[in-house]
Structures are given as C-alpha cells and as structure tokens.
Amino acid sequence: MSRAYRVAVVGLGKIGLPLAAQLATKGHTVVGVDINPQVVASVEAGRSHIDGEPGLVEAVRAAADAGRLSATTDTTDATRRSEVAIVIVPLVVGADKKPDYDNLDAALSAVGKGLQRGSLVIVETTLPMGATRKHVAPILESESGLAPGEGFYLAFSPERVYAGRALQDLARYPKIVGGIDAESTRRALEFYQASLDADVRVVANSETAEFAKLAETTYRDVNIALANQLALYGGARGADLKEAFEAANSQPFSHLHRPGIGVGGHCIPVYPHFLLSDSSDGELDLVRIARDVNDGMAARSVRWLDDAVGGLAGKRVLVLGLSYREDVKELSFSTALAVIELLRSAGAIVLAHDPHFSASELAALEVEVVDLEKPLAVDAAIVQAYHREYRDLDWGRLVGLRVVLDGRGALGAAALRSRGIEVISVGQPPAR
C-alpha cells in the first residue's frame, strides 16, 4: 500500500486548488498556502473559490470535512510541517518579455525558510530551461542552509492540465517528473505514484522535464500561428476554412489548431518567451515569428472591423468575453486587452460583457460594462471568448448591430447573415 504524506501546496489558484484536493483524496494531509487571505479563508471553510471546475466544490468540501485539507498564508510554517512542498504559483514575463521571478522567488524563499532535512520540493510552475537547478535550488539552499540533493531533494514536474477540467486531466495526463539527481527523481516518482491515478513518466533530469513542457506549449503557439496564416491565405482564395481544416485533420498526421484573433492566458503566449529569452540569434526563429504572427492578429482584426463599419471613430463596439478563452475566468495576457486598446485608439466607444466578471472586477479596463438582458444599441460586436452563455444569446437585443467579428470562428454565421448582419472572421475579412 502506498504511504500518506504531509504536503504543502503553495498557490491555491485554478490549478493549485484542484491539485490540493486531489492529493487529499489519496489520503495525504494537505496544507494549502496562498498569499490571498480571502482564498485561504474560503479553503479553510471547505469552499472552493474557483468556479466552473467540475467536481472541485465537492472535492474541497470532502477533503476539509475529512480533516485532510486546511489552508494558511504562512508558507514557511506550512513547509515546516510537511514532507513535500509543491510550488504552483504563476511565473510570467514582464514588459521586456523576460521571466519576472519576483512572485516565484517570494514563494521559494518562504519555502526555503521552512525546509526540513530530507524534505522534497517539487516545482510544478512552468519554468525556463535550467531554472530548477540554477535558480530554484540556490534560493532553497541559501534560505535553508541545506544542500540540494543531500539536505533536501528537488524535482520539476510540469502541470499540464486544462483549467475547466483539471481534476479529470490530473487523472489521465501522464505526469512528467525529472529531478536534479537520481534520488530526487526517485522520491518524486514515489510521491506521484501515491498521489495520482495517471501514469508517471520519469525523464532524464529536471532540464528534460522543463523542456518537455516548453516544447508542448510552444508547439501549440506555432501551430496556431500556422493555422492563422493558412486561414488568411486560404480564405482569400475562396476556401471554406472550417471544412478545409477538418478535411486536412482527417489525415492522422495533421493536427491543425483553430485560427483566431489572438492567443492569451498566462501559458501559451508566455512560455515561448522562456525559450526565446535565452536563445541565440537564429536558433529559434520559427518560434519568434509565430509569436509575432499571433500577437499581430488583434490589430489585423480591428482593421477588418474598421473597414466593415466604415471607420470605427464614434462607433459603439461590444466585446463579448474578456477572458483569454471561453469558459474560464482569467484576464491575464487576454487578447481582449489588446483589442480594447486598439478599438479605443481608433476612436470607438468600447462596451464589454463577460459573465465571469462583475463590473467592479473590470473597473481597471475603463470600458462600459453592459447588461445583455435588455436592448442595447451597438454598431458592431466582437466575439473574443465564446463562453457557453453566448450560445443562447439573443442577438436581436443588440439594436443597430451591423457587423460581428467572430474572433473564434465559433458562430453559425448563416443565422446572423439572414438578419442582414455582416459576419467576418480570420480568413473571412469584409467583402469590400
């Protein structure tokens, strides 16, 4: 029988909380840590603060009731009481496109201060290559006075799940594990075998595990850039893009992703920069170009809209869905932010709607947050994130609507066209 561990999970966000709940279901005693006291209060009370994650509300409640999940803001104390500390706080890039370690380092130094001899630290936050050994280990060593691989063990194991089905993915996606040495790998393997139903896949070292995650996410960014360019090319020459992509993907080696007006979130548009920020000239040209292509889609799309409405100045434009993708509450690196900025610079009046956010949560965007329950005068709308709530949207309430930019290729355009509304999308720009 596998053993039960005392585990600290540092970062109780969209990914950390499902992980903490999963560990508790395996009999481990889990202390969740977050710098946000409201998150901690909610988990302490057995409540999930994350919506739209199937099974999570019940799992958090059951874990708390069983006395196997508690929460604190004190990372050092939680680490001191645990045999394993898992770090799952975000690491993103700053305005200079270089990794901004402030957040992660704060978590690591607090973990280091509480490290006990023989403890295992696992970083699940996506890291640049080499960072587990060259960045994480020295912080833990200097804060704890313990030597990596002797006084404590250290492994990297990327989190690969998709927000919105995290518990399901934890049960089925192979868990990649690579330590800074053989003993760290062995201990991390043993821990995950006692924690997950999924296969655990050991790789050569922490660098290999880091690279696997960066390769997987960069593949998706480059694939989307290719899909965008193919859509622009094929659409301009009369192809039905949806049919063409589905037909292409009926060949088992073809896995074309969907074109769209931008790639957002704190993963896919961020991790290629982890690779680029320490690459030499020419080494990763394709990755750089793909990033530029995807980042350029928002400006292209707003130009199409400008053409379609005969100039955006003074026009009322509704952005539907501010999250970076459908059915998730997450604004970071969302294409919506670029789109709003571009619309504003073109002189449009920007209206916005997202069922996941309250008006006060969107206050910083300085847009007019609207209610779709009553008639609303608009000239154009942009489907930025096609949340499930929009499937039943009564487009008739958008009075004066002339053009819809379907940024995700999600709409059945025929119904809108039959109302005399022009529908444009990537590869299907305005007819003029």
Ligand X SMILES: NC(=O)c1ccc[n+]([C@@H]2O[C@H](COP(=O)([O-])OP(=O)(O)OC[C@H]3O[C@@H](n4cnc5c(N)ncnc54)[C@H](O)[C@@H]3O)[C@@H](O)[C@H]2O)c1
Catalytic residue list contains 175: no
Closest separation between CB of residue 129 and ligand X, Å?
14
Using the minimum distance from each CB to ligand X, give the nearer residue, 168 or 229: 168
Beta-carbon contacts of 405 under 8 Å, excluding residues fewer than 6 positions away, are 261, 301, 304, 305, 308, 380, 381, 382, 383, 424, 425
Check binding of 2 to ligand X (CB under 6 A).
no
Select from 45, 66, 106, 289 the one that contacts ligand X (CB under 6 A). Answer: 106
Give the residue with the Cβ less far from ligand X, 88 or 312.
88
> Shortest Cβ distance from residue 378 to ligand X (Å)?
31
103 binds ligand X (CB under 6 A): yes
Q: Least distance in Å: CB of 35 to ligand X?
A: 4
Nearer to ligand X, 49 or 316 (CB): 49
Pairing of β 175-179 and β 153-156: antiparallel
Of residues 154-193, which lie at the interface with ligand X (CB under 6 A)? 159-163
φ, ψ for residue 49 (rounded to 5)? -95, 0
Which 342-381 residues touch ligand X, going by CB under 6 A? none
DSSP 318-331: EEE--SSSTT----
Q: Which of residues 314-343 bind ligand X (CB under 6 A)?
A: none
Angstrom distance (rounded) from CA 432 to CA 417: 16
Query: Cα(386)–Cα(217) distance, rounded to whole angstroms?
Result: 22
Q: Tell which one of 7, 9, 13, 42 touches ligand X (CB under 6 A).
A: 13
Interface map 118-157 toward ligand X (x if CB under 6 A) = -------xx-------------------------------
Catalytic residue status for 374? no
Residue matched to tokens 């999250």: 323
Catalytic residue from among 213, 242, 315, 374: 213
Q: Which of 59, 69, 91, 287 touches ligand X (CB under 6 A)?
A: 91
69 in Cβ contact with 27 (< 8 Å): no
Closest separation in Å from C-beta 16 to ligand X: 5
Task: Decide if residue 89 touches ligand X (CB under 6 A).
Answer: yes
273 alpha carbon, distance to own chain's centre: 15
Task: Rule CB under 6 A: choose which of 8, 9, 15, 383 binds ligand X.
Answer: 15
Distance CA 431, CA 420 (A): 14
Q: Given the complex with ligand X, which of 221 and 406 has the nearer CB atom? A: 221
Contacts of residues 59-62 at CB distance under 8 Å and 24 or more positions apart, as own/partner, are 59/18, 59/21, 59/22, 59/24, 59/25, 59/167, 60/17, 60/21, 62/24, 62/25
Tell whether residue 35 is a contact of ligand X (CB under 6 A): yes
Residue 160 contacts by C-beta under 8 Å, 6 or more apart in sequence?
169, 173, 176, 213, 216
Describe the crossing of helices 56-65 and 37-44 by its angle, rounded to 10 degrees. 70
Q: Which of 9, 12, 136, 401 binds ligand X (CB under 6 A)?
A: 12
Residue nearest to ligand X according to CB distances in the complex: 13
53 contacts 94 by C-beta, under 8 angstroms: no
The nearer residue to ligand X, 42 or 384, going by C-beta atoms, is: 42
Angle formed by the axes of helices 137-144 and 102-114, nearest 10°: 40
Between the alpha carbon of residue 121 and those of residues 58, 112, 115, 231, 332, the distances in Å are: 28, 9, 9, 45, 27
Q: How many CA atoms lie within 13 A of 193 on its CB side?
A: 11
30 vs 88, which CB is nearer to ligand X? 88
Nearest approach in angstroms of CB 173 to ligand X is 10
Rounded least distance, CB 54 to ligand X, Å: 15
Nearer to ligand X, 13 or 427 (CB): 13
Which of 267, 315, 329, 374 is catalytic? The answer is 267
Binding mask 267-306 for ligand X (x = CB under 6 A): x---------------------------------------
Which uninterrupted H or E stretch holds 336? Answer: helix 335-345
Nearer of residues 100 and 307 to ligand X, judged by Cβ: 100
Measured CA distances, 182 to 127, 185, 188, 291, 361 (Å)? 20, 5, 10, 36, 46
Is-contact 332 265, C-beta < 8 A?
yes
Which residues of this chain interact with ligand X, rule CB under 6 A? Answer: 10-16, 33-36, 39, 75, 88-91, 103, 106-107, 125-126, 159-163, 266-267
Question: Active-site positions?
Answer: 213, 267
